[in-house]
Amino acid sequence: MSIDLSPIDKAKFVAAKRAAQYVESGMKVGLGTGSTASWLVKCLGEMVRDDGLKIQGVPTSSRTAALAREVGIEVISLDEAKWLDICIDGADEFDPNLNLIKGGGGAHLQEKIVATASDQMIVITDASKSVETLGAFPLPLEVIPFGWQTTKTIVEEALVGMDVLGRNVSLRMNGDAPYVTDEGNHILDLHLNRIGNARQLSLVLNQIPGVVENGLFIDICDAVVIGYGDGRAEVRDINNGTVDETKFDFLAEDNIFGDVAE
């Protein structure tokens, strides 16, 4: 890995490197989407190439699928896998109970399906994503294109009765056009600032016709691996109630991670 990596990229790398230690030959592995998850896919690709690791990966987006194939990971669908040993993914926010906001990359629907079809979910992230209360990061809401403006109005009305600080709802754009997910849907970003009762909000939002899935991951994550720019990786395991730390040394030699920084 290049020693010219920024502190944030080093943090992402060590988190991915530590999380890759959970993966063993023969496993079916859910592969997340986003810049941090890309590091994980590269780490696993190196293990496939250099260590003979044999896994099957179930990607959570077309972008991740392309990267996984590029680094030599066998890619299969969730229907082929049926159930996964582990899912490793990033997060936009996580709280002390390891509840998450995901979907900044627009793939939270597939990510939630894959995560809930896994024996365990490991989140890889950096310390900046740790919050006391979820909500500073806009909550993504995937909606079908048909009648999305009506769906948006109903969502705004529903937020009036919720324990949130903000209620601004915006359609995610991709240039001059609405952002389109892998499933052909749109995303509404809910700017809530603080979510007082994430479980209640998740249930209410998913009852609204036109809503496909929200980006709240409640009681799904088993452990968070937090990377730091100095090479430390901290693991917080919610099931065992443990916290442990690993230190990685950075070497000034080229390898497959040289082109991952995003």
Taking the CB of residue 99, how many other CB atoms lie within 10 A of it?
23
Residue 4 has pLDDT above 90, yes or no: no
Which residues are the active-site residues? Answer: 111
Q: How far apart are CA 126 and CA 93, in angstroms?
A: 10
Q: Which two tokens stand for residue 3?
A: 């020693």
Residue 249 confidence class, pLDDT cut points 50, 70, 90: confident
Q: How far apart are CA 76 and CA 167, in angstroms?
A: 39
CATH node for 139-212 = 3.30.70.260
Residue 256 confidence class, pLDDT cut points 50, 70, 90: very low
Q: How far apart are CA 141 and CA 169, in angstroms?
A: 10
Q: How far apart are CA 1 and CA 226, in angstroms?
A: 19
Q: In this structure, are strands 216-217 and 100-101 parallel, antiparallel, or unpaired? A: antiparallel
pLDDT of residue 5: 83
Q: Where are the domains of the chain?
A: 7-130+219-247, 139-212
Domain at 7-130+219-247, CATH from 1.10.3720.10, 3.30.1360.200, 3.40.50.1360, 3.40.50.970: 3.40.50.1360
Is 126 within 8 Å of 8 (Cβ atoms)? yes
CA angle 236, 237, 238 (to 5 degrees): 110
The pLDDT tens digits for 89-121 are 999 999 999 999 999 999 999 999 999 999 999
Known binding residues for substrate: 33-36, 89-92, 102-105, 129
Nearest to 226 by CA among 236, 234, 218, 237: 234
Residue 212 has pLDDT above 60, yes or no: yes
